[in-house]
Amino acid sequence: MTRTVLLTDYAWPDDKVEREVIERAGFTLVSGPAKPAPAAEIDALAAQHHPDAILTCWAEVSAAAIAASPALKIVARLGVGLDNIDVDAATERGIWVTNVPDYCVAEVSDHAVGFAIAWARGLIHFDREVRSGRWDPASANLRRLSELTCGIAGFGRIGRATAAKMQALGCRVLAYDPHTSNAPDNIELVDFETLLASSDIVVIHAPLTPSTHHLINPDAISKMRRGSLLINVSRGGVVDTAAVIEGLASGILSGVGFDVLEDEPRVPPELIAHPGAMITPHVAFSSDASLIELRRRAAEEVVRVLSGGMPEQPRNNPRR
């Protein structure tokens, strides 16, 4: 009997890459809607098709979807974060959960550095000014990056790449990560409060977990340098949006660079109106090269497991 792979959703124009990998291996790919459907619809798709594997981008793969798929062997995330997958339910049923943790290291770190440069040099602010008919170079209040300190919260692959790029621009770099005890000699590992108090730019590269939810909250912002920049290219829930809006209003934050929001795609009007807010629509991971790599590698994990092998990037240890 042919094995079935359910692709719940996809953030690109088609499913061509996934379909090529899956069908070349002799399996059948069933694609859901491109935009992520509500959890109940994904549950229904799982109940209808009884997939042997699920590939998911943004759609929620709930305990109900997992329970509705008795032959399920693997849930593969087309991305890094696992907060849209019930990993515990999968683990309990002996199902692998995988991701592609390193496909967009260059892109996300570039995005973070891009926000920092745009803030320091006023690129977005002055572009908006000129487009509005104002030409006022005397109003510039710009910064020299090589005289600034950048603090990075979350010092994994992407955090380390951002650190290297910020150092290449001359910045002093601090890092905070409770799970990291080693760093290059030219990186200062510090506690979170020291990082906040000592940094002109704070970059969030932390995953969203119960312990990091609202890591940036009113108390954290109160400890930051006045006029600093906050960058979040990780997960929206790591940052308390209401606290950020208050931080901008008070002047503690002079700017933010957000690729993610906790209630995306809704953008609070206070952020839209603030001249220091730079917001992109969750695209830091994206480039032509990174998307092809992501899609191919996630699909190859599915093929590997359905063919009887072990996954290369397991994120759990299922009971088997």
Q: Where are the domains of the chain?
A: 4-103+288-306, 105-279
Q: What is the pLDDT of residues 8-35, one digit of tens each?
A: 999 999 999 999 999 999 999 999 999 9
Which segments of 205-287 does DSSP mark as H helices, in order? 218-222, 241-250, 269-273
Asked if the bond preceding 265 is cis, omega within 30° of 0, the reply is yes
Residue 320 is predicted with a pLDDT of 60
CA dihedral 24, 27, 33, 37 (to 10 degrees): -130
Active-site positions read 235, 264, 282
Of 150, 152, 213, which is closest to residue 177 (Cα–Cα)?
A: 152
- Residue whose pair of structure tokens reads 């953030």 in the numeric block: 11
288: left (phi over 0), alpha (psi -120 to 50) or beta: alpha
CA distance 244 to 170: 27
Residue 185 is predicted with a pLDDT of 85
Hey, do 4-103+288-306 and 105-279 end up sharing a CATH topology, with the first three levels equal? yes
4-103+288-306 CATH pick, 3.40.50.1820, 3.30.9.10, 3.40.50.720, 3.90.650.10? 3.40.50.720
Q: Which long-range contacts (CB under 8 A, 24 or more apart) does 304-312 make?
A: 305/53, 305/73, 305/74, 305/96, 305/98, 306/3, 306/5, 306/25, 306/27, 306/52, 306/53, 306/73, 306/74, 307/25, 311/74, 311/96, 311/98, 312/98
Top-level class of domain 105-279: alpha beta
For 16, counting Cβ atoms within 10 Å of its Cβ (0-12 exposed, 13-18 middle, 19+ buried), the class is exposed
Q: What residues of the chain score a pLDDT lower than 70?
A: 1, 320
Residue 35 is predicted with a pLDDT of 93
